[in-house]
Amino acid sequence: MAIKLLIGTETEYGITAKKTDGFDPVSSSLFVINHLRPFSSLRILWDYENEDPLVDARGFIVEGEKERPSQEENFSLNKPLENGGRLYVDGAHPEYSTPECTNPRDIVIYEKAGEMTMQICMDNANRIRKKEDKLYLYKNNTDGKGNSYGYHENYLMLRDTSFERIVQSMTPFLVTRQIYAGSGKVGTDNKADPADYQISQRADFFETLIDLNTMAKRPIINTRDEPHADPKQFRRFHIIVGDANMSEFATYLKVGATALALHMVDNGHFITGLELANPLQAIKAVSRDLTLKKTVRLVNGKDYTPVEIQKAYLEEAYNYFNKLERDPVVYEIMSHWGDTLDKLEKDPCELNTKIDWLIKHELLTTYARKKGENWDNPRLAMMDLQYHDIRPDKGLYYTLMRDGYVTPFVSEGMIFLAKDNPPRDTRAFFRGMCIKRFPKEVYATSWSSVLFDIGNSTIKRVPLQNPLRGTEALVGNFFRESETAEDLLRDLSA
């Protein structure tokens, strides 16, 4: 039986304009997402009823205001998508959430579909703006001025799994996985120790181990308890400690290895003996060691390199999954994970066409050596930013891919397909197909429900409390046999 590794990601995009004087990121972000023509003309609300970001996994509710925009603000802020994902504005950034996926390869496909969607929005918006007001989007995590914006991962877990066990088992993993998941960064931020170049864009911005915040006093372990599913059965582990990756392979390995580690924890296979003496110090130290040879101190007094810590998790994964029925998806992840760690331990440069921080480091080092420049040259910081430009004809990552220096991990055809079609094996199929087939009758949607208005003065809510239901296998026939939304609702209730 295949193991379902239910995953979703959220990417906040950096946004700026050619003319920065008077630039307003909030209105600009709204302008961008409202130019996904012709789909942007649809008026579908985002249903906030079951969302409560103030519930803490440690068992309490913090004080604060829940987001409840007016109807018109809601239409402007949110664009539920035909692929089951969501395009919206969060704070001062345009953001894209993938639909729920059951394997890391699909996450790569739907993240790249999100880049394509954002690019379409940007191109459409820029066609009606003056040249000096053109907008630019970047899939990165820092503006170089001391501000960071997020890339968040979400993993479905069982409610019965102790949150304390999750923290104990996952902290060393999350601190050290940047060695293959970091997207690289010139310089430092947040008054951290200086460095010419570091592995992670986000490492400098974490100031506490455990907390609910995502904007200030950022924690390595986020405690948001907002399952977007049946709260008695599920929890959603919300990870904010990762970088946004341009590399398809880095995204795949990041979410794949994390999903396997969490699956073990969720099934009582806790990873112990790797607890870090000082996780906050360690996450910054690892980010600054490009050799990957320096060690971090464990609570038990031992010193491990980040590669050794990751290898310990991989060994636990083999020990655990070897006892189960063989799953090709799981073993593909572990194979790539092991090969990557071996190369990082032997010679990280072997991965300078696959891992973002190494791809970028090779690019910038070659340029600096050729031009005789030092790392404090502003040109290198500009190239760092340009690496994350989502325009295929301008972004340095896409230039490297076009020149054959970076190899794609998924097909372009699958990305095009995912832009307009939902995954078939999660509830995203039902959500996306409702929007695709009956857009005028869908009144509102959320991760856990779809609401219909079929003109009889009653709003009909279809709950989606189990993320592994609502799949093509379960509801595909209903869509094939229903000519109208009323037909669909009648068949579902029959």
* Cα 172 from Cα 279, distance rounded (Å): 7
What are the tokens at 476? Answer: 């595909």
Q: Is residue 188 located within the same domain as residue 64?
A: yes
**Distance, CA of 424 to chain centre:** 20
Q: Which of 396, 414, 432 is the last residue of a domain?
A: 414
Judge whether 228 and 53 are in contact, CB under 8 Å.
no
**Does residue 317 carry a pLDDT above 80?**
yes
pLDDT given for residue 40 in this prediction: 65
| Secondary structure letter of residue 285 according to DSSP | H
pLDDT given for residue 4 in this prediction: 83
CATH number at residue 200: 3.30.590
DSSP secondary structure of 199-263: S-SSGGGEEEEEES-SSSSEEEEE-B---SS-TTTEEEEEE--PPP-S-HHHHHHHHHHHHHHHH
pLDDT band for 65, please (50, 70, 90 cuts).
confident
- List, for residues 393-416, the tens digit of each pLDDT value: 999 999 999 999 998 999 999 999
- Residue 1 inside a domain? The answer is no
What are the tokens at 28? Answer: 């600009």
pLDDT given for residue 329 in this prediction: 96
Q: Is 130 exposed, middle or buried (0-12, 13-18, 19+ CB in 10 A)?
A: exposed
The predicted model gives 40-55 an average pLDDT of: 84
Residues in the chain: 494
**Does residue 38 carry a pLDDT above 80?**
no
Q: Which of 388, 414, 440 is the last residue of a domain?
A: 414
What are the tokens at 481? Answer: 């046999």
**Helix/strand number for the chain, H first, E second:** 16, 20
- Residue 29 inside a domain? The answer is yes
What are the tokens at 41? Answer: 């003309």
pLDDT given for residue 416 in this prediction: 97
- Residue 157 inside a domain? The answer is yes
**Does residue 132 carry a pLDDT above 70?**
yes
- Residue 140 inside a domain? The answer is yes
* Cα 11 from Cα 9, distance rounded (Å): 7
pLDDT given for residue 407 in this prediction: 87
Q: Which of 387, 414, 441 is the last residue of a domain?
A: 414
**Does residue 208 carry a pLDDT above 90?**
yes
pLDDT given for residue 174 in this prediction: 98
Q: Is residue 119 located within the same domain as residue 152?
A: yes
Percent pLDDT > 90 in the chain is 86
**Does residue 482 carry a pLDDT above 90?**
yes
**Does residue 228 carry a pLDDT above 80?**
yes
* Cα 400 from Cα 382, distance rounded (Å): 16
* Cα 238 from Cα 241, distance rounded (Å): 9
* Cα 367 from Cα 358, distance rounded (Å): 14
Phi, psi of 219, rounded to the nearest 5 degrees: -100, 155
Q: Is residue 320 located within the same domain as residue 456?
A: no
Q: Is residue 300 located within the same domain as residue 435?
A: no
Q: Is residue 438 located within the same domain as residue 349?
A: no
**Does residue 311 carry a pLDDT above 90?**
yes
pLDDT band for 58, please (50, 70, 90 cuts).
confident
Q: Is residue 366 located within the same domain as residue 460?
A: no
pLDDT band for 483, please (50, 70, 90 cuts).
very high
Half-sphere exposure in the Cβ direction for 363 (13 Å, CA): 30
Between 69 and 3, name the one with better pLDDT: 69
Amino acid at 492: L
pLDDT given for residue 2 in this prediction: 64
Q: Which of 33-42, 132-141, 239-248, 467-476 has the lowest mean pLDDT?
A: 33-42
- Residue 134 inside a domain? The answer is yes
Computed over every residue of the chain, the mean pLDDT equals 94
The predicted model gives 307-336 an average pLDDT of: 97
pLDDT given for residue 39 in this prediction: 64
* Cα 291 from Cα 295, distance rounded (Å): 11
Q: Is residue 336 located within the same domain as residue 449?
A: no
Q: Which of 5-14, 15-24, 247-256, 334-343 has the lowest mean pLDDT?
A: 15-24
- The number of distinct structural domains making up the chain is 2
Per-residue CA distances from 157 to 53, 237, 259, 345 (Å): 17, 7, 10, 32
- Residue 337 inside a domain? The answer is yes
* Cα 315 from Cα 34, distance rounded (Å): 47
pLDDT given for residue 494 in this prediction: 75
pLDDT band for 217, please (50, 70, 90 cuts).
confident
Residue 451 forms beta bridges with which residues? 444, 461
- Residue 102 inside a domain? The answer is yes
Judge whether 229 and 467 are in contact, CB under 8 Å.
yes
**Does residue 467 carry a pLDDT above 80?**
yes
pLDDT given for residue 59 in this prediction: 79
Q: Is residue 239 located within the same domain as residue 159?
A: yes
Rounded to the nearest 10°, the torsion over CA 225, 230, 232, 237 is -30
* Cα 250 from Cα 339, distance rounded (Å): 13
pLDDT given for residue 281 in this prediction: 97
pLDDT given for residue 46 in this prediction: 97
Reported in sequence order, the residue ranges of 4-102 that DSSP labels E, i.e. its strands, are 7-12, 14-17, 45-46, 55-56, 60-61, 78-80, 86-90, 93-97
Q: Is residue 455 located within the same domain as residue 321?
A: no
List the one residue out of 424, 430, 477 whose CA is nearest residue 451: 430
- Hey, is 149 helix, strand or coil? coil
**Distance, CA of 420 to chain centre:** 19
Tabulate helix, strand, coil % of the chain (nearest 5).
40, 20, 40
* Cα 85 from Cα 447, distance rounded (Å): 9
pTM equals 0.97
- List, for residues 83-108, the tens digit of each pLDDT value: 999 999 998 999 999 999 999 999 99
Q: Is residue 129 located within the same domain as residue 251?
A: yes
Half-sphere exposure in the Cβ direction for 338 (13 Å, CA): 11
Report the catalytic residues. Answer: 90
| Structural domain boundaries, residue 76 | 7-414
Residues 6+ apart with CB under 8 A from 173: 257, 258, 261, 271, 274, 309, 310, 313
Q: Is residue 357 located within the same domain as residue 469?
A: no
Q: Where are the alpha helices (DSSP H) in 58-188?
A: 71-77, 104-126, 163-176, 178-181
pLDDT band for 372, please (50, 70, 90 cuts).
very high
Residue with tokens 């194979």: 335
The predicted model gives 64-76 an average pLDDT of: 87
Q: Is residue 137 located within the same domain as residue 193?
A: yes
Percent pLDDT > 70 in the chain is 99
The predicted model gives 315-338 an average pLDDT of: 97
- Residue 471 inside a domain? The answer is yes
Residue with tokens 């639909």: 99
